Structure 1
Amino acid sequence: MMRRLPIYFLVDVSESMVGKNLYSLEEGIGAIVSTLRKDPYALETAFLSVIAFAGKAKTVVPLTELVAFYPPELPAGGGTALGAALSHLMDEIDRTVVVTTPNRKGDWRPIVFLLTDGHPTDDPSKALDRWNRSYRNRVNMVAVSIGGGADHTLLKRLTDEVIVFNDSAHDAFARFVKWVSMSIQSQSRSVSAGQDGKVSLAKAEPGLLESVENAEGLTPFAGVDDRYAVFVGKCSKKALPYVVKYERHMGRIETSDPVLSKLLQTRRYALDAVAPVKNSYFELSDSGDSGQSVSSGDLIGQPNCPHCGARFAMAVCQCGKINCVDGGGDHTCPWCGQVTTYTISESGEHFDIGRGRG
């Protein structure tokens, strides 16, 4: 029986990843597969799986032989439930990895690439304990903090291999994909030579990938990733969901525009992206609301609807849900089905908007 090298991509597809990062990861997984198929050692041993997680976790591609692996479209969801993701991963490892017994050689030690850009929005303590008790010593995990936004202290409790990926560097994702591919190729060669130890990572590029050596303390469970203010809306014409993402500017934005400069002094979040998502978004989202809101006065920027192009994608119905409208007047809410009269708020008139977990 052939001994497999199981490789799991545990991918954060939360709202904070929506947009460029999620598209880049989709393309990146495809590029990794294309590269590995040219390597005879990887072709012989590598089996790949993709697990996506947001408020819930889901196996998008089960453990599949490299030659038959087809790169998936990554879904999106609300929340960053790292505890749920780890529990799902461990269950998948139990279900799919062949263990060594006195009568047979099992699979090689699995590799997990955990890719995340945020802090957990669930309580991962039980999953962490289970991981460290039963999996850490028999699974190679590489935790990648995309943009340095993950909880490095928590990741250090999972693995010694915590890497910060500078996603704003020149050709960042292309270079990152090359690094992941070379690391898998190196491990494929190692196991083909009968060596089944610590993962053989490729040399990290300074300015692109940096190892986290020490992280002290434990960031408490907060329930919401406050680096972003994320909102979920529905198109009034097509009833399809979309995600609006504002990023906390933290005083980093510089401008010579006096009007924008004044707004930046009083408002906390600037529009970062608006992206269409599918109805599968709700399947991966936390079942409950975040219970938190943001004042409209803290937001800079008004997006158009990505589905129909309506001018206002942040209209709020009396039911509290967000939808798009072309202007004021009577419109049917795609969430509750009620006809609501919408008005354009005047300058200085603010209201609270329910936010997602990020």
Structure 2
Amino acid sequence: MVPDVLPCYLLCDVSFSMSDHIDEVNAGMREFRGVVHADRRAAAQIRLCVVAFAESPLVVRPLQPALDPSEIIRPRQESGSDFGSAFTLVRTVIERDVHALKEQRLRVRRPMLFFVSDGRPTDPAWPAALARLTATASCPEMIAFGLGAVDQPTLGRIGTSRVFLGRDGVRLGNALASSVARTVLRAEHV
């Protein structure tokens, strides 16, 4: 039997406006790893990649098993949130990763992209980059998680599958776990 793999991507805004929320993001990633650890099937299937962005994006954790230790996300003292360059980079990364997984003869589920931000882009052309990402053959399921004083309409355009808001009392780790639950995790772990 060919193993299933669920590639998950955390695309996190680390600009100045998000600096008060980065500890919550790191705590959410630890909580998510704990949930995955509790389910052997999930631990074998879920891969996680982390991309941080402000004025430019950077892969801080390449796609690897979700249980592997994660780099701590750090805020940047940059005021810009260039959503467009972040979507462009993550599109390239997803396409490369999906291709590499298929070459390993793994059955790849539809990728999931968790977009974490206050939803305040500083680049006006970001919708075109988002459209290119969602038009690819490896189009991810798009889930947005808003922290701080969010721009809910913007997050709604990005999170076409779901939008979670920290101000509603939802923790990032729970949002990540509930999003993959339909695919991999057993209900008692969510």
Q: Contact 1:155/1:162 (CA < 8 Å) preserved in 2?
A: no
Residues 131 and 118 of structure 1: CA distance in aligned 2, closer, same or farther (over 3 Å): same
Q: CA deviation at 1:100?
A: 9.1
C-alpha distance after superposition, 1:65-84 (max 9, x if no partner): 133x2122112221111001
Q: What is the CA distance between 1:164 and its match in structure 2?
A: 4.2
Find the structure with the greater CA-based Rg.
1
Matches within 5 A, 1:8-19: 8-19=9-20
CA RMSD after TM alignment: 2.8
CA deviation map 1:309-330 (0-9, x unaligned): xxxxxxxxxxxxxxxxxxxxxx
Deviations 1:270-300 (A, max 9, x none): xxxxxxxxxxxxxxxxxxxxxxxxxxxxxxx
Q: Give 1:145 shift.
A: 2.2
Q: 1:179 to 1:134 in 2, by over 3 A?
A: closer
The equivalent of 2:163 in structure 1 is: 163
Contact 1:131 1:158 in 2 (8 A): no
**Is the helix fraction higher in 1 or 2?**
2
Give me the whole-angstrom Cα distance separating, in 1, the residues matched to 2:96 and 2:145: 25
Q: Indicate yes or no: 2:109 matched with 1:113.
A: no
Which gives a bigger RCO, structure 1 or 2 (Cα 8 Å, sep 6+)? 2
Paired residue type of 2:113? V
Partner of residue 176 from structure 2, selected from 175, 180, 184: 180
Cα distance change, pair 98–188 in 1 and its aligned pair in 2 (3 A): farther
Count how many residue pairs are aligned between Structure 1 and Structure 2. 183
* Contact persistence 1:145–1:162 (CA under 8 A): no
TM-score with structure 2 length normalisation? 0.82
Structure 1 residue aligned with 2:50: 50
* Equivalences for residues 37-76 of structure 1 within 5 A: 37-67=37-67, 69-76=68-75
- Is 2:93 the partner of 1:92? yes
Q: 1:140 to 1:23 in 2, by over 3 A?
A: same
Is there any run of 5+ residues in structure 1 with no aligned partner, and where? 191-199, 204-358
Q: What amino acid is aligned across from residue 12 of structure 1 in structure 2?
A: D
Identity rate of aligned residues, in percent? 25
TM-score computed with the length of structure 1 as normaliser? 0.46
The answer (yes or no) to whether the contact 1:39–1:185 under 8 Å persists in 2 is: no
Aligned counterparts, 1:1-358, within 5 A: 2-19=3-20, 21-67=21-67, 69-77=68-76, 78=78, 79-98=80-99, 106-122=107-123, 123-134=125-136, 138-147=139-148, 149-150=150-151, 152=153, 154-167=154-167, 172=169, 175-189=171-185
For 2:3 and 2:52, the matched residues in 1 are separated by 28
Secondary structure of 2:135 counterpart: helix
Q: 1:100 to 1:36 in 2, by over 3 A?
A: closer
Instruction: Provide the C-alpha distance between the structure 2 equivalents of 1:52 and 1:138, rounded to a whole number of angstroms.
Output: 19
- Mark the CA change 1:59 to 1:177 in structure 2 (over 3 Å): closer, same or farther: same
Structure 1 residues 66 and 132: alpha-carbon distance in aligned structure 2, compared to 1, 3 A threshold = closer
Give the Cα–Cα distance (whole angstroms) in 1 for the partners of residues 27 and 128 of structure 2.
33
Instruction: Read off the aligned partner of 2:22 and give its amino acid letter.
Output: L
C-alpha separation in 1, matches of 2:27 and 2:96? 28
CA pair 32-144 structure 1, distance change in 2 beyond 3 A = same
